[in-house]
Amino acid sequence: TKLHTMQSVSKSFTAAAIAIAIKKGHIPSINEKVMAYLDEYESVTPDIRRDAMTIKDVLTMTTGILWDELSMPYTDTSSTCVKMEATNDWVKFVVDQPMAFDPGKQWEYSSGATMLLSHIIKEATGEDLAKYLEKNLFNALGIKDYFWKHIPTGLTDAEGGLYLTPRDLAKFGYLYLNNGNWDGEQILPKNWVKLNTEKYFNTLWPAFKYGYQWWLIPYGENQITMLASGLGGQRMLVIPELNIVAVFTGWNVYDTPALDSWMAMHKLINAVLK
């Protein structure tokens, strides 16, 4: 019943905001150019490749922006993500990073990419991400108790700032389990969940794919399990073929001796299936 940090599980909620904005006509499609929503920002590293970046590229973390987040712990000040969070305007920091390759070609995990989505929602809808999701998602799901952190400019911390109860997190998973439908109301576009599990990119790990701000992993013989994952053991598995949503929250970071969240979830799911 207590609010718990979602960390990067927040990213999956941010993708849902993009889906809702498309359904409501606030954003034409995921093929829209990102820089069209960033008129106020002029990069200190001009590159024509940046202008080609689409919302889809941001959703799938294939922006082409030079970024190094997974090769070191979040305590390392050389992490691009840590550097971003030390600035006043996180969006400006992301836009100022040099391009490393063409958008849509190579996957690179980037919390900065998700911050671009937060800005896009505000520009496209006129509402802050937190308020937009409250009106168009949380109210429908009966999520009343939550908290979103904001960055110094006032923008919602879309990449890791959400706090929810585990039960309310499970509601979000159930929405995806039911292809974006909640009690007869189609909240997400009908094909959104299907696209999320089909239009994916390979990551650093062969078994892990990446869709629209969701990880895609095998569970047993199942190849389309959706995973929302955050630092410290925040996990939510959505397994359509088994009709299961499994949620785990904790704070097992930096080798703290504790029950591994993966082990716990597998034990839980296996017990349910027996």
- CA distance to 140, 166, 183, 264, per residue, from 250 (Å): 27, 10, 30, 11
Question: pLDDT tier at 157 (50, 70, 90 boundaries)?
Answer: very high
Beta strand 209-210 pairing with 222-230: unpaired
> In the CATH hierarchy, which fold is given to the domain comprising 4-273?
Beta-lactamase (3.40.710)
Tell me the CB-side half-sphere exposure of residue 53, using CA atoms within 13 A: 29
* 238 token code pair: 């959505």
Q: What are the sequence ranges of the domains in the chain?
A: 4-273
3-class secondary-structure state, position 237: strand
The pLDDT of residue 256 is 55
Q: Which of 55-64, 195-204, 249-258 has the lowest mean pLDDT?
A: 249-258
Q: Which of 47-51, 162-166, 267-271 has the lowest mean pLDDT?
A: 267-271
- Which are the contacts of 91, defined by CB distance < 8 A and separation ≥ 6? 38, 41, 115, 116, 118, 119, 153, 155
The pLDDT of residue 62 is 98
Stretch 58-70: mean pLDDT, rounded?
97
Question: pLDDT tier at 223 (50, 70, 90 boundaries)?
Answer: low
Average pLDDT, the chain: 92
Q: Which of 61-70, 154-163, 242-251 has the lowest mean pLDDT?
A: 242-251
Question: pLDDT tier at 199 (50, 70, 90 boundaries)?
Answer: confident
Question: pLDDT tier at 198 (50, 70, 90 boundaries)?
Answer: confident
Does residue 145 carry a pLDDT above 80?
Answer: yes
What sign does the CA torsion over 208, 211, 215, 219 have? Answer: negative
Q: Which DSSP state fits 257?
A: S
The pLDDT of residue 222 is 60
